[in-house]
């Protein structure tokens, strides 16, 4: 086909073709940029939501760890208590038999006013100890009481004030059990 258009017209048509091509490419490039912007906005929203989710999960884990630490402390305290209780029962200390022996050795007209029971540490071991206070009518009866107690108990220790008065004695003593 022969083109019979004048050269100016040909240039104008060529120029318009280039202009359309540039316009189409520009529109395509702008739509590509707009699409890229939308995709990046979507990615930002997705990452932000995922980050927020991870932050919430992290806070929940911290709270669970804190609660677990409190529970762990309670468990440790309970274990210590149960260990002490177990060691107490393993010593097989029959306090009722000890009290029975104590009251069997108690002379007549002598009575107890105070009783306390506990453990003392001696030689790396816990040893049971009884502390008593009471009244005894005279020193001879108190001496008999001490001799009877020494037959049954490991260490019998009267306070020095218990031996001062000859009658109407308020005594205090400590007994260590085997």
95 pLDDT tier (thresholds 50, 70, 90): confident
Which of 56, 90, 124 represents a domain boundary (last residue)? Answer: 90
Residue 155 forms part of a structural domain = yes
pLDDT value for 92: 60
Give the number of other CB atoms < 10 A from CB of residue 152: 15
39 and 114 part of one domain: no
105 pLDDT tier (thresholds 50, 70, 90): confident
Strand-strand pairing, 155-158 and 125-138: unpaired
Residue 131 forms part of a structural domain = yes
CATH number reported for the structural domain that contains residue 116 in this entry: 3.30.70.60
27 and 52 part of one domain: yes
Q: Across the chain, what does the average pLDDT equal?
A: 87
32 and 102 part of one domain: no
Write down the pTM of the prediction: 0.47
Structural domain containing residue 143 = 95-176
User: Read out DSSP for 47-114?
Assistant: HHHHHHHHHHHHHHHHHHHHHHHHHHHHHHHHHHHHHHHHHHHHTT--HHHHHHHHHHHPPTT-EEEE
The whole-angstrom separation of Cα 29 and Cα 23 is 10
pLDDT value for 100: 84
82 and 156 part of one domain: no
Which of 90, 120, 144 represents a domain boundary (last residue)? Answer: 90
For residues 112 and 121, is the Cβ–Cβ distance under 8 A? no
Which of 32, 57, 90 represents a domain boundary (last residue)? Answer: 90
14 and 85 part of one domain: yes
Predicted confidence (pLDDT) per residue in 60-71, tens digit: 999 998 888 988
Predicted confidence (pLDDT) per residue in 135-145, tens digit: 999 988 888 88
Residue 1 forms part of a structural domain = no
Looking at the structure of the chain, the number of domains it has is 2
Q: Residues, the chain, total?
A: 178
């Amino acid at each position: 086909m022969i083109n019979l258009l004048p050269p100016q017209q040909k240039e104008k048509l060529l120029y318009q073709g280039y202009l359309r091509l540039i316009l189409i490419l520009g529109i395509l490039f702008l739509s590509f940029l707009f699409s890229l912007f939308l995709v990046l906005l979507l990615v930002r929203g997705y990452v932000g939501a995922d980050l927020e989710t991870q932050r919430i999960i992290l806070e929940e884990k911290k709270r669970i760890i804190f609660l677990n630490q409190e529970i762990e402390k309670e468990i440790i305290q309970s274990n210590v208590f149960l260990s002490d209780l177990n060691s107490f029962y393993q010593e097989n200390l029959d306090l009722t038999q000890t009290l029975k022996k104590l009251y069997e050795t108690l002379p007549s007209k002598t009575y107890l006013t105070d009783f306390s029971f506990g453990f003392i540490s001696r030689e790396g071991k816990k040893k049971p100890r009884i502390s008593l206070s009471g009244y005894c009518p005279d020193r001879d009866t108190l001496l008999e009481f001490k001799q009877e107690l020494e037959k049954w108990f490991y260490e019998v220790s009267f306070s020095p004030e218990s031996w001062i008065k000859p009658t109407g004695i308020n005594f205090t003593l400590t007994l260590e059990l085997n």
